[in-house]
Chain A
Amino acid sequence: GAVVSQHPSWVICKSGTSVKIECRSLDFQATTMFWYRQFPKQSLMLMATSNEGSKATYEQGVEKDKFLINHASLTLSTLTVTSAHPEDSSFYICSARDDRGNQPQHFGDGTRLSIL
């Protein structure tokens, strides 16, 4: 079945560090990928839509200079949390939409980010 790989699965780093998270579709092409954030006991909240070959679309309240998104190929999107602070600690999850259409979105296993 369709697989989305997300890496790393867990990151602990100091305040002020920038952290890059990768999201790969392993057996399908994905022009569009999505980045979500999930706090404990809360729903997944859409942060941004990542489009291959063009700029990402950010949801209201999400700082584009803070959360840099690069969708360099049809199978890879990256999210970089720049100058991370403790309030950025969260569970970040990506999903990918199969270009063949009429397919459900498939999710990565998430990245637990802890900023000390």
Chain B
Amino acid sequence: EDQVTQSPEALRLQEGESSSLNCSYTVSGLRGLFWYRQDPGKGPEFLFTLYSAGEEKEKERLKATLTKKESFLHITAPKPEDSATYLCAVQAIYSNSGYALNFGKGTSLLVTP
């Protein structure tokens, strides 16, 4: 069974204090690994898709990396507006649910001034 585990569950950072969020996964053939940002009471907002081990993607203060077992979301010099829940999801090649996403529970990030 496909599994996605995110850690830590919650993270509190001072503004400017860089850190990384982890997403460990097991999947029967990875089609893609996705990172989304979710603000309270809102739907997930797309950040990155990674397809193969060694791939990296960057956007402003965020950088996502992928290995065969896990993905990291690195946050460099975060700002308070980066506070949100970050969700990791996998899409499996061999899935009864087609292109549906299997989500982790998320990491709740709070960045204080």
B105 touches A49 (CB 8 A): no
Contact (A107, B105) CB under 8 Å given A32-B98, A46-B97, A49-B97: no
Q: Does A76 contact B (CB under 8 A)?
A: no
Q: Does A6 contact B (CB under 8 A)?
A: yes
15 other A-B residue contacts (CB within 8 Å) besides A105-B46, A110-B42: A41-B105, A43-B103, A44-B89, A49-B98, A49-B100, A57-B96, A57-B97, A93-B44, A104-B49, A105-B101, A107-B46, A109-B41, A109-B42, A110-B41, A110-B43
A44 touches B49 (CB 8 A): no
Closest to A59 in B: B97
For B41, what are the chain A residues with a Cβ–Cβ distance below 8 Å? 109-110, 112
Q: Classify chain B's interface size.
A: 20 to 34
Q: Does A106 contact B (CB under 8 A)?
A: yes
Min C-beta distance of B84 to chain A, whole Å = 14
For A108, what are the chain B residues with a Cβ–Cβ distance below 8 Å? 43
